[in-house]
Amino acid sequence: MRKLKGKDLEILKKLVPEVEEKLRSGSGIEYHSILPPVSMHYAVDEEDFEERLKRLSGEDLTYLVDRILDESECLLCISTEYAKIFIDVLAEKVSKEAAKRIKEMYESATGYKV
């Protein structure tokens, strides 16, 4: 299981600026993935989740894609609705090709269509 560090924490802070106070106070973060806690604990609804994702650069999203593909980031741990939002943002900000690859992986692993 991965421990969030460096680039992971940088991305988490962009998605959840309020987490920076926890990091500064030394209370630490016990997350092993980025997307599940953002979708389950911080995003108020689907629209909020999408707005948070759109804060990320193409480079940040590509980093998350790489982590999803090497199975150190858990896209399968978020709801189908949130996975679809991630895939849509990916198509918009990175490429339709990357989005298609993640979509196929998600659907194959879960059996759900996004």
Total residues found in the chain within this entry: 114
Residue type, 105: M
Does the pLDDT at position 21 exceed 90? no
Residue type, 12: L
Does the pLDDT at position 104 exceed 90? yes
Looking at every residue in the chain, the average pLDDT score rounds to: 93
Dist CA 43 CA 18 (whole Å) = 12
Weakest mean pLDDT among 27-41, 45-59, 73-87, 99-113: 27-41
Interval 47-92: pLDDT, tens: 999 999 999 999 999 999 999 999 999 999 999 999 999 999 999 9
